[in-house]
Structure formats: C-alpha cells, structure tokens
Amino acid sequence: MEILFLGGVFDDSHNKEIISKTKTYVEYAANNFQKKIINGLKECNANIRVISAPFLGAYPKAYSDIYFKGFSDNKNDQSGYEYVHFLNIWGIRNFSRKKALKKAIRNFAECDGDDKLIIVYTPHTPLIQAANYAKSIDKNIKICLVVPDLPQYMNLADNVSKVYKMLKKFDVKTFMRENKGVDTYIVLTEAMIDKLEVEKRPYDVVEGIYQKADTWGNKSEKSVQKTIVYTGKLDKSFGIMNLIQAFSMIDNPNIRLLICGNGEEASNVERAAEKDKRIIYKGQVASEEARKFIIDGDILVNPRQNNSEYTKYSFPSKIIDYLATGNAVIAYKLDGMPDIYKEFITFIEDDKIETLRDTLIQVLNMNNAQTQLMAEKAKVYLENELSEKAVAKKILQLNFSKETIEL
C-alpha cells in the first residue's frame, strides 16, 4: 500500500517567511486541514509521501516572490514534504505548477506496486492534472479527491476583473474534464456530490477534522472580563463587520472582541479598533498563535450568514477548530451543516444585527455548566467521527480492500 499526498501544504517552520511575503491572506485553514489528513494517515501506519506546490498568493498582488524555489531556511523543517518549484506569476502559474508536479510525480507512477493511491487535496487543476498524468503511466493507480470547496466557488470576490472571470471559467471547465479520472471522493457536504458529477463513484462525507486543543474549556466563573474571538478572512461575505457592529451595540466595559486575520475589510477593522478600545485587532498571525487565541477566548464566533447558494457546499473549518477548545461557539446555521451541530452551537436565528447582538449577550450570560454541557457533547462526536485517525481510516477504507488495510 503506497500513498502519495498531492497538495499545497507547508510546514509551520515557514510561517514567518510566508507572512512576511504575503500581501493578502495566508490560507491557514487549508494548510491545517492537509496536515491533519497527513497526520491521521501516519497514525494509521500508512506509507505516505507528500509532494506540495504550496498554496501561496500569486505575484505581484498577493505574494512578493515571482518564482517559488523552496523556502529560504529548511533547517527546522522536519516534515519530509517535497516542495516543487514554480513560476508564481498570476495567470500563468498553474501551467508552471502542472509541469513541476508532473515531473515530481513520475517516479511514483513508474515504481512497482499493486496498491497505489494518490490523495489530491482540493480541486486545484494542476494537482488533478498531475495525478491523471501518473495514472496514464500506471492505470492501476487510484485517485482520491478531497473537496473542501467546489471549484466554481473558489477564489471569487465581488471586485474581480473580466479577465479573471474568463480564466476562472476556463479553469473550471478544465477541472471538470480532468475530474473524470477521479476514483473516489471525500467531500464536506452531501450537496457537493451533484455539482462534482460523481455519479456512481464511491464517496464519503467528512465535514472537517478534529484536533484536540491543549486545554479544554473549564473557564473560571470568577473571571469578570470575557473575550469574544474571531479568526479568519476579513472579507465582507464572511460577516466580520456585522460582528463588529453587533459587538459595539453592547454597553459592557468587561467584554472585548479579539480579531485576527486579513482581507478586504482589514482597514475597516483597524478603524473600528481605533474607535472602540474594547476591540483588539491582531492582524495576520501564524496558525499556532491563532490557535492560542481561540483556546484562551471565552466565546468564538463565525459571523458568516446563510444567505448564498455557496453555503450548501461549505462547512467552515473554523467551526471544528472552535469546538475543539471546549469554549462556547456562536454561528449561523449554514445549509451545509449537519443537524447534530444544533447540540453544540448557539445558532443566530436571523440576519438582523440586533439578533446577533442578542445572541452574544445570551451566551455571555450563560454559566459554565451550560457551556460545558454543549462542549462535552461536541467532544464525544468529534473524537468518534472526526479525529485525525478516524478520518484517515475512512479514506483508507474507501480506497483499499480490508485485506490490504491493517489498522
């Protein structure tokens, strides 16, 4: 059983360099999801190799390097990930990535073995093209595609150019053609299946992957000050300004709102923090620092509303990260969320700012016993269904016979 993981993962030792060169938002959610899959497979004693074209912003608007030739300092990188080099210019970098990935993957395709699997993380066209290239060399190779987002809805914003939309349309068409070579799927929501034209090919639904936090809930009742935390993209569609507005309507000097991330609303977040000293904006921080903020927080909020078709095909990874801390979680009930999450999350009933404000007040007034009851229910579900090892087992069972797998 030989497994090749093909994605855009990078080791945490490179966080400082990536942040310094990134002009927009670092895709930490995608990076953490990939690392959890890899860790789970290793926990299952799978023989796994990782080839990565790191998910970095494109030159010149989103990243400062015109050519990615690896990271400058690898002495602390113990991951074993193999990073391919590519021209990072917007509009043409996918062609460079495809060429580099095909070159890197060739020896895996040519090596002997009856049970070979390529796990492709996300519907990124160069990745699936490289996997299909390997399959053209060895037709017995299976391809498992992990789909955290549909290609039709990836990297879209309100202010994109006509050229971008044209290239995006071409990219989606190319992906759907390449998608025919995929054998199995891991998707975040059931609704994704029809859009991917899976038909009768095997699949499993995994809305996220749980990684236990270093501490678990148990906040002191005696603590007067409460911290509300948001981590992630600061884009309009993610609802960050709604959260700030709702928070500002609460007349309570003993609460604060801590925000970290970057995006199109960053300047507005900065202005809000200057106006209301209870709002603390940390900017773009490394994933381990963001993790510490949500562990130390009291109430964790995902203010993205359920007001677009996209939410049927989405499950925010931050929800799993939030629940993993044992802290109180507030969110909107997105169409892609299984109903069981009603037991773990305090849902916001409608899109009015006043309702978000009232929900914040409601949870601020909860006692520890109430929040811990919801947290313990979440913990049982996450550990049984979405732990790194549990998800890795699902991937292996989807792609190999019982005789091949020794878990």
CATH number of domain containing 203: 3.40.50.2000
Length of the chain: 407
> Helices marked H in 253-345 — which ranges?
266-275, 287-296, 317-323
Long-range CB contacts for residues 366-372, cutoff 8 Å, separation at least 24: 366/328, 367/221, 368/217, 368/218, 368/219, 368/221, 371/217, 371/219, 371/327, 371/328, 372/217, 372/218, 372/326
What three-state secondary structure class fits 74? coil
Same domain, 179 and 68: yes
Q: What is the mean pLDDT of residues 52-76?
A: 94
Same domain, 258 and 161: no
Amino acid letter for position 272 = A
| Whether the predicted pLDDT of 219 surpasses 70 | no
| Whether the predicted pLDDT of 32 surpasses 90 | yes
Instruction: Report the relative pairing of strands 47-52 and 2-7 from DSSP bridges.
Output: parallel
| Whether the predicted pLDDT of 102 surpasses 80 | yes
The single-letter DSSP state of residue 59 is: B
The answer to whether position 21 is within a domain reads yes
Same domain, 128 and 160: yes
CB within 8 A of 201, min separation 6: which ones? 182, 183, 184, 185
Q: Note the pLDDT tens digit of each residue in 280-337.
A: 999 999 989 999 999 999 999 999 999 888 889 989 999 999 999 999 999 999 999 9
Instruction: Answer whether 324's CB lies under 8 Å from 253's CB.
Output: no
Helix H or strand E encompassing 297: none
The answer to whether position 203 is within a domain reads yes
Same domain, 258 and 393: no
Q: Note the pLDDT tens digit of each residue in 137-181.
A: 999 999 999 999 998 877 655 566 787 778 888 888 999 999 999
pTM: 0.90
Instruction: Report the relative pairing of strands 142-147 and 116-121 from DSSP bridges.
Output: parallel
The answer to whether position 64 is within a domain reads yes
Same domain, 171 and 182: yes
Distance CA 396, CA 407 (A): 9
Same domain, 205 and 255: no
Q: Residue 259's domain spans which residues?
A: 226-384
The answer to whether position 219 is within a domain reads no
User: What are residue 7's DSSP bridge partners?
Assistant: 52
Pick the range with the lowest mean pLDDT from 34-43, 52-61, 150-159, 254-263.
150-159
Residue 329 CB-half CA count within 13 A: 29
Domains in the chain, number? 2
Distance CA 224, CA 255 (A): 8
Same domain, 175 and 96: yes
| Whether the predicted pLDDT of 127 surpasses 70 | yes
Q: Is 99 exposed, middle or buried (0-12, 13-18, 19+ CB in 10 A)?
A: middle
Amino acid letter for position 33 = F
Same domain, 46 and 178: yes
Distance CA 396, CA 43 (A): 12
